[in-house]
Chain A
Amino acid sequence: MQNPGDLELTRRGVLMGSAAAVALTTGPFTEPAHAAAKRQEPILSTVSFTVNGKPRRLELDTRTTLLDALRDHLHVTGPKKGCDHGQCGACTVLVAGRRINACLTLAVMHEGDSVTTIEGLGLPDGLHPMQAAFVKHDGYQCGYCTPGQICSAVAVLDEIKAGIPSHASTDLTTPPQATAAELRERMSGNICRCGAYSNIVDAITEVAGRQA
């Protein structure tokens, strides 16, 4: 980590593959970016937020995403890293009750926030109704996307309750209902490569029925 060249090549080699490493020599970056790159030491910042009700205070490299802070610094490993680019939804957590992609937000941007992960919804000895419904309806196969699916599903029902419309809503002026079409559209930010989608819709539908 002492040699700047080693650091860059290692990071880029691991993260982006050999093709991107070739691009290093052609210098695709702007002058200010070079200036930043020359400062080799991580730039630290402190942040305080609560995770599943517990106050946490961290000193972090400013580059740390909320997802990496949760997983690697706080060892809250329910939120999963799938794509790390906001495309798969495996990292979905609730911040102040709203679902977001934890991979696309910096930890330092969450000063004072309240973060809820799958662990905060329920644990094996006290499952959240959505967790129990996923088990009952077999709403997963490998389970990797499941924490994100469940956090998202809980938020989806809250959003429908709050009257927030979706692309599937036929009328913008009447309250949306938890129909299968609405659930499919609203869950589209959570990808399941095992293809458990129909069972996931069944699980959410059951919980929506209980709440109605």
Chain B
Amino acid sequence: MRPFTYERARSPAEAAAAAARSQGAKFIAGGTNLLDLMKLEIEAPPHLIDVNGLALDTIEATPDGGLRIGALVRNTDLAADGRVRRDYGLLSRALLAGASGQLRNKATTAGNLLQRTRCPYFYDTAQPCNKRQPGSGCGAIGGFSRQHAVVGGSEACIATHPSDMAVAMRALDATVETVKPDGATRSIPIADFHRLPGDTPHIETALAPGELIVAVTLPKPVGGVQLYRKVRDRASYAFALVSVGAIVQPDGSGRVALGGVAHKPWRIEAAEAEMPRGAKAVAAQLLAGANPTPANAFKLPLVERTLGAVLAEAKG
């Protein structure tokens, strides 16, 4: 790990301002992903701003009947919140499908959104990776790509976003609230928060340098049967090969978002019009334009079959 200076911020504005003062500084909250990457020197911030003291750790009702989730609410606490379990079951289910109990106790709502890919070529500093070192190439393309993206990738990067929680947030139409170093605040729809890799895979989100997430808000509950099905190489504590988050209404309409298939949580609203016609029709639209490798082409039928299982379970 490279040496770094360390400070504890006392307010969101102070944290954002501190980030603006120090080029390359990083916020640290749970630290479960950042410290892992710092040990491997994939991340090497010269300065860490500890935001754990910012009192952004509550979940509050919003005037329009939704929830405002503080950036520092731990994954365990978010999944266990009574309102989330009752009204946003998809979010609880997705959180509980991710990581381990120890990690969920530290990992935060904002940090979960900002997780970096677990692509093995990103993690191995002896390999080329356009995300880790722009312009160096992509080891995954033509390499071991079983875990990688089948839609939305580019010639520069076929990494996937690792988060389960983000898939639920996408299906639930969450909004990311931030503060910038100059004190300006903004709300970013989750659909616009994560980026596709294009030719700049190292730029993963819509956040500007020093911009701090302060909360994630959910609109009022939409009801329906809410399910999250994650397919992985072992029954627990593994990243998704494919995951399906779905909200299914009694009339068969609903929403679907996928994990494990793209550089961001994957949702195509137009595909949801096909839901009453079944999984095959929905999957065909979700995966239109898919460009799998020979090693991960299995994900296409796996999405359709997992979605089929979810829709069948929703029917009860």
Interface residues of A (CB under 8 A from B): 16, 19-20, 22-23, 26, 28-33, 35-37, 39-43, 45, 61-63, 65, 84-86, 89, 92, 98-101, 104-106, 108-109, 111, 152, 155-156, 159, 162-167, 169, 172-173, 184-190
Contacts of B100 in A (CB 8 A): 86, 89, 188-190
CA distance A14 to B293 in the complex (A): 35
CA distance A117 to B101 in the complex (A): 17
A189 near B125 (CB under 8 angstroms)?
Answer: no
Residue of A nearest to B41 (CB): A29
8 pairs, CB–CB < 8 Å, chain A vs chain B:
A30-B24, A33-B44, A36-B2, A39-B46, A84-B39, A86-B32, A100-B106, A189-B237
User: Do A62 and B3 form a contact, CB below 8 Å, given A16-B125, A101-B102?
Assistant: yes
Contact of B2 among A26, A33, A86, A164 (CB under 8 A): A33
Contacts of B44 in A (CB 8 A): 29-30, 32-33, 36-37
CA distance A186 to B24 in the complex (A): 37
B198 interfacial by beta-carbon distance below 8 Å = no
Residue of A nearest to B94 (CB): A167
Cβ distance B8 to chain A, nearest Cβ, rounded Å: 8
Contacts of B97 in A (CB 8 A): 167
CA distance A37 to B86 in the complex (A): 49
Contacts of A43 in B (CB 8 A): 3-6
In B20-78, which residues have CB < 8 Å from any A CB? 23-24, 28, 31-32, 35-36, 39-41, 44-46, 48, 50, 52, 76
User: Do A166 and B96 form a contact, CB below 8 Å, given A28-B136, A29-B41, A106-B35?
Assistant: yes
Contact of B6 among A26, A33, A41, A45 (CB under 8 A): A45
Cβ distance A83 to chain B, nearest Cβ, rounded Å: 10
Cβ distance A161 to chain B, nearest Cβ, rounded Å: 12
CA distance A84 to B136 in the complex (A): 28
| Number of A-B residue pairs having CB atoms within 8 Å of each other in the complex | 156
User: Do A35 and B96 form a contact, CB below 8 Å, given A28-B132, A85-B39, A165-B85?
Assistant: no
Contacts of B124 in A (CB 8 A): 19
B102 near A152 (CB under 8 angstroms)?
Answer: yes
CA distance A190 to B263 in the complex (A): 29
B39 near A33 (CB under 8 angstroms)?
Answer: no
Contacts of A40 in B (CB 8 A): 3
A37 near B6 (CB under 8 angstroms)?
Answer: no
A105 near B35 (CB under 8 angstroms)?
Answer: yes
Q: Assuming A39-B3, A106-B31, A164-B80, what are 14 further A-B pairs, CB within 8 angstroms?
A: A32-B24, A35-B46, A36-B2, A36-B3, A62-B6, A101-B106, A104-B32, A109-B28, A109-B50, A152-B101, A166-B96, A166-B101, A172-B89, A188-B236
B103 interfacial by beta-carbon distance below 8 Å = yes
B92 near A172 (CB under 8 angstroms)?
Answer: yes
Contacts of A33 in B (CB 8 A): 2, 24, 41, 44-46
User: Do A36 and B85 form a contact, CB below 8 Å, given A86-B102, A164-B76?
Assistant: no
